[in-house]
Amino acid sequence: MSYKTETLKIGVIGTGAIGEDHIRRCMQSLSGAEIVAVTDVNLVRAREVADKYASQAKVPEDGESLIALPEVEAVIVTSWGGTHAQYVLEAIRHGKYVFCEKPLATTAADCLKIVEAEAAHGKRLVQVGFMRPYDSGYRALKALIDKGEIGEVLMIHAAHRNQRVGANYKTDMGITDTLVHELDVFRWMLGDDYVSAQVIFPRRTSKAMEHMRDPQIVLLETKKGIRIDVEIFVNCQYGYDIKCAVVGELGEASLPAPPAVELRKAASLSTEIMTDWKERFIAAYDVEVQDFINGVKAGKLNGATSWDGYCASVAADACVKAQESGRIEPITMSPRPGLYGG
Ligand code: NAP
């Protein structure tokens, strides 16, 4: 397929929270793309979202029909995680570019199927929706590390805190939904792979639902021997707070906090802390999806690959296993295909 049209024609599968947000973004904030089809298991909702942002868009009855539409040049998958693999594989079968929100698939085996299908196709078609490498703070941090400003990296101390989570959130989602962003961004930042994981549970907060253990501390080790500790605390009460301090041989570099007004009042100095994760990385989502649009038009994608999606999934599986076993669990990847630099 050639992408000669000036406006890339995109179909979106899944019109829930982030699906609607990506549709709005493509139609109102970004350039060079339009939404020509949307679908969802709830077709009424799909039509409503289409009418809000792209009233001319078709609403085919399912994801497969959407992918098959001749006018759909690229696909965005924002349905429930358990359905991602089937739609990504179908898009590859049609030779169409696909942006898939994280996770690429809910099992490492399904991620590997996608990796193998794309490798057999012989060209990158898939971008996974890990947006943190598009965040200006993480980019500045990586640039500084790459320049050698803090020497060789030895350790990372990180935290991922949410104000609170809903009743459906389970302890393992601290890994599969929450830590997964750190798993991706640290691989990207360090150019390194994980070899082992351990999970420790500190004293449990009384603010968490009965069924879940919160907080938890994940200890990762990389091939280079870098040690990473990530605190996952999803009922911290005070806000959505992402921290990352990288310690090297020559110094320490930290992720900048998002800009916030300093308020001096009543004999105190304060700055607001965000509570909504959508706000914290809103600029990164814009840059990420624009990069997908530009990448498709140029015939060369830049963002997280299927292989990155697979590696995050393998590491997450090991962390979930470590939650249950209490032991240090090895993280072992399949051989990396040539398409991904293996
Ligand atoms: P959501 O609000 O539940 O939306 C998912 C939508 O997909 C729902 O409308 C759901 O319908 C629909 N759906 C389920 N199965 C489908 C199928 N087989 N075909 C078509 N549509 C289907 O969830 P969300 O928060 O938008 O999350 C969607 C995905 O994006 C998840 O994989 C999530 O992990 C990811 N995400 C990523 C980020 C990020 O930071 N990168 C942030 C948020 C979400 P029903 O509600 O009727 O089931």
CB 108 within 8 A of CB 286: no
Separation of CA 68 and ligand 1 centre (Å): 21
101 lines ligand 1 (CB under 6 A): yes
Which atom of ligand 1 is nearest to 130's Cα? 41
Residue of 194, 221, 198 whose CA lies nearest to 308: 194
**pLDDT number for residue 6:** 86
Q: Is the peptide bond before 60 cis (omega within 30 degrees of 0)?
A: no
**pLDDT number for residue 342:** 80
42 lines ligand 1 (CB under 6 A): yes
**pLDDT number for residue 279:** 87
Which atom of ligand 1 is nearest to 39's Cα? 20
| Residue carrying the six token digits 């990396």 | 336
Separation of CA 83 and ligand 1 centre (Å): 9
Separation of CA 14 and ligand 1 centre (Å): 6
32 lines ligand 1 (CB under 6 A): no
Separation of CA 63 and ligand 1 centre (Å): 13
270 lines ligand 1 (CB under 6 A): no
102 lines ligand 1 (CB under 6 A): yes
Which atom of ligand 1 is nearest to 84's Cα? 32
The strand pairing partners of 231, in sequence order, are 159, 217
Strand duo 194-200 + 216-222: pairing: antiparallel
Separation of CA 77 and ligand 1 centre (Å): 9
Strand ranges for the chain from DSSP E? 8-13, 33-39, 74-77, 97-101, 126-129, 153-161, 194-200, 216-222, 227-233, 241-248, 252-254, 262-265, 268-271, 329-330
pLDDT in tens, the chain (342 residues): 556 568 999 999 999 999 999 999 999 999 999 999 999 999 999 999 999 999 999 999 999 999 999 999 999 999 999 999 999 999 999 999 999 999 999 999 999 999 999 999 999 999 999 999 999 999 999 999 999 999 999 999 999 999 999 999 999 999 999 999 999 999 999 999 999 999 999 999 999 999 999 999 999 999 999 999 999 999 999 999 999 999 999 999 999 999 999 999 999 999 999 999 888 999 999 999 999 999 999 999 999 999 999 999 999 999 999 999 999 999 999 999 999 988
162 lines ligand 1 (CB under 6 A): no
**pLDDT number for residue 4:** 54
**pLDDT number for residue 2:** 55
C-alpha 8/C-alpha 13 separation (Å) is 16
**pLDDT number for residue 341:** 87
Q: How far apart are the first and last CA of the chain?
A: 27
189 lines ligand 1 (CB under 6 A): no
